Structure 1
């Protein structure tokens, strides 16, 4: 079984983020870049499926040059090879453009004899939290989508997932190939071993640009974005809380405070 995992490099969620004043996009150089946490679960699930089916895992990433670090982490976890779509014109791409680029890269891979059986993604990215790309990618590829999976099984011809819902889960089955997005409850991502880190340095990573994918720069990046940030302001610093001195009427003061903020 051939599995492709789409991953994204994002700013460290523990870091304070900022937008760039010149184009209102996220300043990715101001903080450390890491693999999107949800994508770690996607990589782990792909590796477990590959181990059960004697399969191969390819990691696909769209992003700047430093995105290679995220690809290498996935390779050190056990993925077999990577594909890096990198082009300056991609800066500022929204979910619509991102799905177009990923679809084109997958079509290019299939045309080169690398047909896939399953495409796995995290359910969302920590820097945007839209959960749109998996559905958009499935639509562009004309494939069934199975979203918010907390368990994935396959018999080689079909894929079955337990889809997380507010009331429990649904069991959904589809033929292959298909697109699956997973939630963080699905597994516990493995830590790269020293042996895996060393082996990752020798695993192949191919690089593609817009020309290779047959895409026009006007279709992607800020120029082709369907959405943009019109304005933004820096969050004001947190102020000192209000101190209530209890002189026998502390309860009344507390109720009055909560009522003034319409909390009771």
Structure 2
């Protein structure tokens, strides 16, 4: 559902910028949007493939806790030693078990000690700890991230963005337009702390990323965010590598300029 909504907001952005497009043909390898040239020529001058990276994270964990304890008399506070990119089901269950146990102790004794849940997951790059506090009250769940560097969190997000363009199906889509550039647009709204990096910085990082080798199937990689309270593409950023032809790179730059998306080129 998130990926489909991402396609809708990108389509709206294209229409708002008066960029003519048609949808990709079903059943054959091609991107979601085929962008027409001057006069609406049949052969597309560029393509846009939209996808999303959204592993279970803080939001989903908070929703599960609130569904179970939101209407009770237990106030839950979570503290993360670093911003997680993913909280797998087993971690979520450990946190929920800690809340349940603490709620029982609170009912019997009036107070409960904090519980530490360790998280070791390669997607998070660095090990982290979730500290679970419960106390009497009916306030909404709160959470915070302790001090620390975001290097691991953002490295994980950057890796996930480029991985979204790999695989047999995506490779065919990226190379399907006979030399016309195809841009991979990845929604990072729900990928850990990816939203903490500004569009300008994202664009620069994408353009020079070690993951953007000459064998990568897409001519450019974009990230963006979306929100359920607005139909707009938010904080869009595009990285353009140096190894594509000047004509392909110029086409991507012109597309970014018309859309008003931040961009950076490696060359």
TM-score w.r.t. length of structure 2: 0.24
User: Could you tell me the TM-score, scaled by structure 1's length?
Assistant: 0.25
